[in-house]
A and B are shown apart, each in its own frame.
Chain A
Amino acid sequence: MAMHDVAVVGYAETKIVEKADRDIWELQADILESLLEKTGFEKNEIDGLILSSSMTGAGNAFWSQTTADQLALELDFCQTVDIGGCSPTGALARACMAIDAGMCTTVLCLYADTQASEANRQRPRSAFGEWQQPTGYLGPPAAFGLLSKRYEHQFGLDFSALAKLAVAQRGHAVLNDLACEKLRKPITIDDYLNSRMIADPVRLLDSVMVCDGASGLLVTSKKNAEKRGIAKCVVPVGYGERTNYRARDNIVDITETGHLPAGARAFAQAGLKASDIASFHPYDDFIIAIMLQLEMLGFCKHGQGCDFIHAHDFTHTGDLPLNTGGGQISAGQAGLAGGGTNLIEAVRQLFGEGGKRQVKNTKNALVTGIGGIPYGRNWQSSVVMILTPNA
């Protein structure tokens, strides 16, 4: 996959809000307009559309076509990516593939969800109803409760380490005007430790809050970007994706995730290793997911995440800046489009447009995704992408 022949030439983001008072197609139109204004592209130059999954769109089996019709886009490539929270980064990888394969030239990657105000998830066809719902299992918090207890059993779990990550991300959200206002208040280690239990040992301040919002990227071939004289762009240089890690095993170590193989592939493609990473933008639905990803991606050994966290500074001026916009936990989770929050922040940093929270080292950025929670495991899809500025 020749991803480095593709350029991300623009990014856009709406404010994340507790409940949208505007229609999802209006939010998407905001993203489209913003991308056109920022990049100088004409609307008719967009010949590819890739949407991430959306709870609002979930009842519509024709989601990408209907959205393309609303935005009046004439396309040679049109699809929705349905790997849950991995969809935004997965969409960018698929945009690279489509452009590289010659199917289209310029792709709008559009991530929007208004799950908080309009969820249209009818009867989900999954194992949930038959095997999990009867236990009172509420989904992600319970899954992360089971995972955290198991981690504690295998390795021990220092909650003050997890607290440190929560505090760092919250500090970043305070600097991010687009973060959900309700979350833009600093927190302390004690606030985290004293926040109420949701699914022991998962606390309120471990968890994302479901919100509404939209984001997007405009992606074109590097050749096209050069022809147009676009100097500032971001290039994906490594990508790995794994769905249903160890699917053929009945019992798996739920502290080990698909980021292990996905990360190895992304690093190999990029010719980089964990210690080369300049800023880290992992998918964060629960704080412990960040620590597991640090372990799986090789920042530290499996089981040693807490020690690693205590030894490093995750603020935007630190040695490993983490989710510098606040991540989803502190900026708000824009439904199934929430992975766009981590991705767009990484692109913004590499554009050098981080403002008050700009990181110093913009040699690269690492973004991840987590998507779907299956029966008795950790998560279904894991993606890892390494981005660099067009140097």
Chain B
Amino acid sequence: MSAQQDAIKDTLAVKREPPQWRTFSKTYWDATREKKLLLQYDPRAKRYQHYPRPAGIVTGHRALEWREVTGKGEIFSYTIARLTREPFAGHEPFFLVLVTLDEGVNVMANMVSCGMDDMKIGLRVRPHWAPLSNGTHLLMFEPDR
């Protein structure tokens, strides 16, 4: 299992294209300029949701609020990406995680400052914002030590 012992890398140096937002997700990306995490909240269902959708996933209604949250949560599951494409080539192996935020949504992201031995399902994490070339930031996570 020598592959298991390869040092895990973070993906901070990857030159990512800023994602193309949609009309209903622009508010999310705009807030990341100030490293703020906004989640959609459906007041009828009293539920958060992520990723941003054009309508409430429970009610189908469009009157959704944006609420700022801490971004703290815990690892729901993880994998180690060992096969990559540009622009990630050379940055493998790295973690891909699903994080359950305390507000009850799952978020897919990368990890920073987290070694192979640190990683486990249930690990508490907090946000780490990685800058993108257009001034927005990409949400990543680091252990909440």
Contacts and interface: CB of A to CB of B under 8 A. Distances in A.
B96 A131 contact: no
Given A247-B57, A251-B76, A198 B108 contact: no
A250 B77 contact: no
A311 interface: no
B70 interface: no
A145 B47 contact: no
Interface residues of A, number: 34
17 contacts: A129-B20, A130-B19, A130-B22, A130-B25, A136-B92, A138-B85, A146-B98, A149-B79, A196-B82, A199-B80, A199-B96, A200-B82, A201-B79, A250-B106, A251-B104, A254-B77, A376-B106
B66 interface: no
Interface string B86-120: 00100110101010100011111110000000000
Interface in A137-193: 137-138, 141-142, 145-150, 153
A243 to B, nearest CB: 14
Interface in A114-145: 127, 129-138, 141-142, 145
A62 interface: no
A197 interface: yes
Contacts, number: 106
B129 interface: no
B16 interface: yes
A200 B109 CA distance: 16
Which of A127, A129, A134, A141 has the most chain B CB atoms closer than 10 A to its own CB? A134
A147 B108 CA distance: 13
Which of B85, B108, B109 has the most chain A CB atoms closer than 10 A to its own CB? B108
Given A129-B20, A137-B96, A198-B82, A150 B88 contact: no
A196 B4 CA distance: 10
B58 to A, nearest CB: 5
A145 B77 CA distance: 9
B19 A133 contact: yes
A340 B88 CA distance: 34
A130 B80 contact: no
B121 to A, nearest CB: 5
Contacts of A136: 11, 14, 81, 84, 88, 91-92, 94, 96, 110
A202 interface: yes
A149 to B, nearest CB: 5
Contacts of B79: 142, 145-146, 148-149, 199-202
B83 interface: yes
A251 B105 contact: yes
Interface of B: 3-4, 11, 14, 16, 19-22, 25, 47-51, 57-58, 76-85, 88, 91-92, 94, 96, 98, 100, 104-110, 121, 138
A290 to B, nearest CB: 19
Contacts of A133: 19
Contacts of B51: 127, 130-131, 375
A145 B32 CA distance: 28
Interface string A193-229: 0001111111000000000000000000000000000
Given A130-B19, A250-B48, A376-B106, A135 B57 contact: no
B80 to A, nearest CB: 4
A356 interface: no
A183 B99 CA distance: 37
Contact of B82 (A130, A146, A153, A199): A199
Nearest to A194: B1
A22 interface: no
Contacts of B50: 250
A199 B81 CA distance: 5
B108 A131 contact: yes
Contacts of A200: 4, 79-80, 82
B121 A131 contact: no
Nearest to A204: B83
Nearest to A153: B121
Contacts of A250: 47-50, 57, 104-106
A147 B3 contact: no
Nearest to A201: B79
Contacts of A138: 81, 83-85
Contacts of B106: 250-251, 376
Contacts of B14: 136
Contacts of A248: 57-58
Contact of B110 (A135, A147, A197, A201): A135
Contacts of A131: 19, 51, 108
B96 A146 contact: yes
B3 A196 contact: yes
Contact of A135 (B47, B83, B96, B100): B96
Contact of B109 (A129, A130, A135, A247): A135
